[in-house]
Amino acid sequence: VAGVVHANQLNPIYDKVYGGLHGIEGILEEKFYDLTNMSKEENRILRQTPAAALGSCRYKLKKENKEDFDKIFAIIEKYDIDAFFYTGGDDSMNTVNILAQAAAERAKENPNDRCAKCKFIGCPKTVDNDLVITDHCPGFGSAAKYINAVVNSTWLDYNVYTRKEVFILETMGRDAGWLAASSCLTGKVDILILPEVPFDQKKFLEIVDAKVKATNKCYVVVSEGARFADGTYIAARETANDSFGHARLGGAASALEDMITEAGIDTRCKVQDLSTAQRCAVIAQSKTDVEESFNLGMSAHMHSMANDFTGYMVAVKRGSIEKDELGKTLDPKRVSAGLDYNPEFYPVKVDQIAGFNKGFKKDWILKDMAGVSKEALDYVAPLIEGEPNLIMKNGVPAFVLPYYMR
């Protein structure tokens, strides 16, 4: 959002930049906030404001709800909307896709319909990092940085006593293990449990037992989406599905603790469920991630200049250029290993992305829950590099008041 607004201040190709409040839910109710003349100061603080400053929604556009589309296209006509930038994960890319398709169909019937001229553009943003095609998703790097900082800290904490102790950290990742896998970056994780590999309880308990017997300690990271071979989640509390049909999870780490206790393994267990904090931890923002996200917004604004640029998402790839922007020669080996990092943006048709899901790469997973390969670590490493200079207020990071509260 900050990148699109800033780009349009530099190159004012649109008269107005409206922020739609609460995603499609607020747009259906004509709830906008004019962001056109956002100050430089506010833009900078917006970049360090966690969660969605414009609000979010759990409302799902469905093809059969024709009146929703009628409403949206009427609003597009009323406000003379030329481009519609929508940021988020797979649910958001679905919204972009379905809107672009509906607009195209309508334009076929009536080429003069205003929506025929509106471009629907997706900007990826999800800590889950589970969109296909794009190398990774903005947001993931900062969450991975926070997780690694917590892993290091809690690893030091649980080691201070000589007693036997198992530490179990739970990360988000309903269907994809990217966040859990990223925790291995600093080499502290003994056991990694991902949704991509059926959970073998017997083997898990054997490994824990052996590790505790050998070293008194065992550090376990589990993804909330970890499941048994039959597909049931290991999370103790399986509850109702949310409005998108996703299972609501929680408690995979507690479930592991119970298994260890019930198996009679002689050890204490400590559980740390990172829960919501991991996706909004501004205190551990990755500068690489924040800058890339901002630049992706600017790229989306630029791409929107092109004719017929609708139904696209702006994706990220790792550039293979040999010199960075300051002209420093890069080591091609480091570039290919991801250590020297030059993101490039490029458009991808959103129908190739929406509705798919990219799990953590299976050939990056070490066997026996032993973690991930060097390639996986090289993939994550550059994404958590650098720290922005945060603007602080009263001892904590400043944030912009959400636009839906104004």
Which residues are at the interface with a copy of itself (CB under 8 A)?
22, 25, 49-53, 55-58, 145-146, 148-150, 152-154, 156-163, 167, 185-186, 250, 270-277, 279-284, 286, 381, 384-387, 390, 392, 394-397, 399, 402, 404-405
Nearer to a copy of itself, 347 or 402 (CB): 402
128 in active site: yes
**SS3 label, residue 271:** strand
* Angle of helix 201-215 versus helix 252-262 axis, rounded to 10: 70
Nearer to a copy of itself, 150 or 197 (CB): 150
Q: How far is the CB of 268 from a copy of itself (least distance, A)?
A: 9
Taking the CA atoms of residue 46, residue 348, residue 374 and residue 151 in that order, the dihedral angle to the nearest 10 degrees is 30
Each as own residue / partner, the long-range contacts of residues 373-376 (CB below 8 Å, 24 or more positions apart, any chain) are 376/181, 376/184
* Angle of helix 2-10 versus helix 40-47 axis, rounded to 10: 150
Read off the tokens for 66: 């024709």
Nearer to a copy of itself, 292 or 351 (CB): 292
Asked if 373 and 180 count as a contact pair (C-beta separation under 8 A), the reply is no
The conformation of residue 166, written as its DSSP 8-state character, comes to E
Residue 392 CA to residue 146 CA, distance in Å, equals 18
C-alpha distances out from residue 268 to 170, 183, 243, 307, 352, Å: 17, 22, 38, 62, 47
Q: How far is the CB of 32 from a copy of itself (least distance, A)?
A: 15
Q: Where are the beta strands (DSSP E) in 253-380?
A: 268-273, 312-318, 343-349
Query: Which residues are paired to 217 by β-bridges?
Result: 165
Nearer to a copy of itself, 110 or 275 (CB): 275
Nearer to a copy of itself, 264 or 395 (CB): 395
Q: How far is the CB of 113 from a copy of itself (least distance, A)?
A: 30
Task: Please name the residues in contact with 187: beta carbons below 8 A apart, sequence gap of 6 or more.
Answer: none
Q: How far is the CB of 52 from a copy of itself (least distance, A)?
A: 5
Q: How far is the CB of 154 from a copy of itself (least distance, A)?
A: 5
- Among the options 68, 128, 130, 190, which is catalytic? 128
Residue 94 CA to residue 149 CA, distance in Å, equals 33
Q: How far is the CB of 1 from a copy of itself (least distance, A)?
A: 13
Asked if 383 and 288 count as a contact pair (C-beta separation under 8 A), the reply is yes
Nearer to a copy of itself, 163 or 203 (CB): 163
Active site amino acids? 128
